[in-house]
């Protein structure tokens, strides 16, 4: 008789799988209740629900046991949870960016950037306290945090400004180039050796960027150039983060980033300062809270699963950005944006995959 694996089964009966004779200690027990009002809406459903897994099994139950859902072969629960956090991060990021686009018609992007960091830092205070207080954010590399904060401040200012000028889908597609620029900077600054495969991925990715920008065409405007500049600066921040992760926790890196980015964006914000209205305060609080959710979800995604597992789902940001652009801003992305964004994303995922996998190919080939 075929017996499903206990580690990937979820019982739907009104008792545990162990009581049903399957010997699983991790079964989840659901109440002994039928759907749709205990069967009153559909006579007979209640009896079928209560008998599920109890009486003599017939048909499917006789061959395979109680009704169950099984995870795909080779996929673990932490990996699925990591994918879920990555999807949440991408969707929340799109909501935040859309809010920035709406608010940028009344407040300058520099001021929005400052409040994004200030409110985000306030939102992180309970997390810091729960994790152990000031001890968890103590650092031995303060100047690296200063450098990362300066780079992120320039990147955030450029990105928010780009969002106010260019379609959401275009900005989102160009944003996928940040890992490509990070690999290029690692080659030029850190002397990292890259083989033919990653060089090919970089060439394809940057060529796809030209497909989106179309130099000489009508799309090459200030918004697209600012988005590209933000990706270059964020790539530099990635190099610094790569160094910080050797000794710092993800919470420490996130907190110090919020502090220094807020500090560096305060000066340009003061130059264009305008006191927000009560409604605008609500938008700013929402942007700060969403930004914290993005950072924490991203950290949890990479902590629960390998980069090669969760990173492909980051492509959904382009889908969300296109949908939000169509629904809320009447921005319909063209074919070049979809094709170019897809090619850039595939190149970025491949580069990340080659950097994470063990060295199994000859030097200069992988």
| pLDDT, tens digit (0-9, with 9 covering 90-100), for 279-318 | 999 999 999 999 989 888 887 887 787 776 787 788 888 8
Greater pLDDT, 53 or 302: 302
Residues 6+ apart with CB under 8 A from 225: none
**What is the pTM for the complete model shown?**
0.72
At 59, is the pLDDT very low, low, confident or very high (cuts 50, 70, 90)?
A: very low
Examine the pLDDT at 363 and tell me if it is beyond 70: no
pLDDT of residue 216: 54
Taking CA atoms, 153 is separated from 48, 135, 177, 264, 365, in Å, by 61, 25, 18, 6, 37
**Pairwise CA distance, residues 169 & 94, whole Å:** 10
Q: 9: which strand partners? A: 70
Q: How far apart are CA 295 and CA 127, in angstroms?
A: 12
User: What pLDDT was estimated at residue 210?
Assistant: 79
Q: Six-digit token pair at 114?
A: 């400052």
The confidence score (pLDDT) of residue 2 equals 45
């Amino acid at each position: 008789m075929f017996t499903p694996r206990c580690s990937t089964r979820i019982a739907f009966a009104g008792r545990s799988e162990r009581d049903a004779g399957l010997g699983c200690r991790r079964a989840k027990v659901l109440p002994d209740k039928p759907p749709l009002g205990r069967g009153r809406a559909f006579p007979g459903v209640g009896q079928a629900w209560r008998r599920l897994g109890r009486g003599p099994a017939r048909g499917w139950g006789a061959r395979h046991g109680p009704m169950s859902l099984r995870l795909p072969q080779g996929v673990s629960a932490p990996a699925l949870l990591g994918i879920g956090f990555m999807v949440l991060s991408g969707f929340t990021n799109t909501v935040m960016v859309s809010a920035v686009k709406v608010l940028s018609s009344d407040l300058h992007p520099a001021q929005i950037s400052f409040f994004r960091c200030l409110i985000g830092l306030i939102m992180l205070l309970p997390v810091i306290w729960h994790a152990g207080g000031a001890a968890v954010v103590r650092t031995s590399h303060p100047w690296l945090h200063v450098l990362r904060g300066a780079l992120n401040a320039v990147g955030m200012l450029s990105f928010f400004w780009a969002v106010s000028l260019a379609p959401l889908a275009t900005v989102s597609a160009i944003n996928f180039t940040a890992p490509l620029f990070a690999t290029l900077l690692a080659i030029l600054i850190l002397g990292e050796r890259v083989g033919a495969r990653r060089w090919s991925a970089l060439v394809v990715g940057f060529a796809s960027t030209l497909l989106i920008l179309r130099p000489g065409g009508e799309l090459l405007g200030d918004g697209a150039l600012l988005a590209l500049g933000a990706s270059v600066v964020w790539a530099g921040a990635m190099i610094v983060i790569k160094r910080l992760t050797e000794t710092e926790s993800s919470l420490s890196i996130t907190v110090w980033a919020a502090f220094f980015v807020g500090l560096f964006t305060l000066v340009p914000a003061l130059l264009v300062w305008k006191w927000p209205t009560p409604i605008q305060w609500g938008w700013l609080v929402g942007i700060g809270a969403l930004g914290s959710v993005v950072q924490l979800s991203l950290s949890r995604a990479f902590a629960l699963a390998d980069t090669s597992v969760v990173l492909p789902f980051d492509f959904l940001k382009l889908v969300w950005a296109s949908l939000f652009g169509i629904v809320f801003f009447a921005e319909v992305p063209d074919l070049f944006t979809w094709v170019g964004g897809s090619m850039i994303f595939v190149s970025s995922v491949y580069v990340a995959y080659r950097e994470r996998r063990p060295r199994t190919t000859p030097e200069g080939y992988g």
